[in-house]
Structure 1
C-alpha cells in the first residue's frame, strides 16, 4: 500500500512539474481588445495560472497561483495604466480571503515556460513588503507593451481552478478573479489614453 501511495505521489509531482514547463503551450488564457471613443486600441493578454504550492504568513497557510498580464498600446496616443489592489479581498466572509501581490520582479516573455513563470521564493513575496509594489503606474507609449506579474495568495479551504483577468468599464479597471465556482470583481485602478 505504501509503495502504491509513493508511486501515486511521484506521478502527481512529475505531471504537475512537467505541465508547468511544457514548451508547446503559450499559457495565454484570454486576449481582449479595448477601444476608446477616439478609436485608440489597447490589447490585454491574460495568462493561465501556474503554482499550487503552499507558503506561510504569521502561522497561517496560503496556497498560491501566479499570473502575468501583457498590455499592448496599439495606438499613437500614450496609454496610462494604474493598478492598486486592496490588502485583502474576501470570498466567503469571514474565513476565506485572498491577498494579491504585485512583485517588483520583471516579467519577460522568455519566462513563460519556467516553473511559476520564473518567480522563486514565493513565501518572501507574501512576507516581505520590500519585494512588493504598493501600486503599479506605467505609461505605455505608442506601439509599446508592459508585462507584469500577479501572485494570488489564497487562504481558502476549498478552491477550484483559478482564472483572472482585467475588465475595463469606461476607464475604471477591475480584476475579475474566480476560484472554482466563487468569483469576485475587485476595483483596482484605471486604464486610459492620455489626451
Structure 2
C-alpha cells in the first residue's frame, strides 16, 4: 500500500505537467492567427460565381497550411430608397463569402459602429451600413441584387441601428453574407469599392480605401 502511494506521489508532477502541456496547446490553437498568402483581385475557380462579380479575393493559411478564403464582390443596386423620415438614399448591395478549408470550426463576429464612414462630399454626414440576416450562396450571384430580397422592409426596420453579424463556419464549409450601403442622394457620387480582410484574427472592412475595424474570426472552443 505504501509503495503504491509513493508511486502516485512521484507520478503526480509528471501527470500535472502533461495536462498543462495539453491545455497550453489547446489555448495556442484557439488563439492561432491566420497569415495572408495570396491577394488576388479576381481569379477563376470560384465555384459558380463569375469572376466578373468578384472585386477581391484573399487567401490565408494557418500553421498547418490549411486555407481560409475571403471573397468580396463588386456593387450592385444603384436604386433609390425612401426612408421612414422621407430621406431619399441611393443604395448598393455587396456580399462577402468566407470559405473555411481548415480542420477547425470558426466563429465569425462583425460589428459596425453607426457612424463608420463619412460621406466625402458631405462632412458630418455618414453612409449607413446594414447587414441583412440573409445568407448569400453562389447560386444567387446572377440574380438582381445578388438574390437579396425583402430589402425595403429590412431597411425600414433597421436603418437607424448598428449593423452586426454572428456566424459559425464549420470545417470544410463556407458562409456568405450581404452588406448594404446607403448614401443620401446629394452625396452619392462616384463608385463604391468595399471588402473584408483579415489580419491574424482581426477583421477590417475597407470602403474606398478607408479601413474600419469591425470584428474577428477565431477558432471555436470545443469541450
Q: Aligned pair 1:173/2:183, yes or no?
A: no
How much does 1:40 deviate?
4.1
How far apart, CA to CA, are the structure 1 residues paired with 2:90 and 2:142? 21
How far apart, CA to CA, are the structure 2 residues paired with 1:43 and 1:55? 33
How much does 1:100 deviate?
1.1
Whether contact under 8 Å (1:171, 1:190) holds in the other structure is yes
Q: Aligned pair 1:82/2:109, yes or no?
A: yes
Assess, with a 3 A threshold, how the Cα gap between structure 1 residues 73 and 25 changes in structure 2: closer, same or farther: closer
Q: Which runs of 5+ in 2 are unaligned?
A: 1-48
How far apart, CA to CA, are the structure 2 residues paired with 1:81 and 1:140? 7
2:158 equivalent among 110, 129, 132: 129
Match of 2:193 in 1: 163
SS of 2:136's partner is coil
Aligned residue pair count: 168
Kindly provide the CA deviation profile for residues 153-192 of structure 1, in whole angstroms up to 9, marking residues without a partner as x: 12361421111111222211110011xxxx3211110012
Q: Aligned pair 1:70/2:97, yes or no?
A: yes
1:107 equivalent among 136, 148, 156: 136
SS of 2:114's partner is coil
How far apart, CA to CA, are the structure 2 residues paired with 1:59 and 1:37? 52
Bigger Cα Rg = 2
Match of 1:29 in 2: 55
How much does 1:121 deviate?
4.4
Deviates more, 1:163-172 or 1:89-98: 89-98
**TM, length-normalised to structure 2:** 0.66
**TM, length-normalised to structure 1:** 0.75
SS of 2:190's partner is coil
How far apart, CA to CA, are the structure 2 residues paired with 1:70 and 1:141? 14
How far apart, CA to CA, are the structure 2 residues paired with 1:26 and 1:176? 20
How much does 1:101 deviate?
0.8
Match of 1:13 in 2: none
Q: Aligned pair 1:185/2:215, yes or no?
A: no
SS of 1:90's partner is coil
Which structure has the highest strand share of the two?
A: 1
Kindly provide the CA deviation profile for residues 45-93 of structure 1, in whole angstroms up to 9, marking residues without a partner as x: 1111101011122222211110111101111111221111112223246
1:152 equivalent among 172, 178, 181: 181
Whether contact under 8 Å (1:102, 1:133) holds in the other structure is no
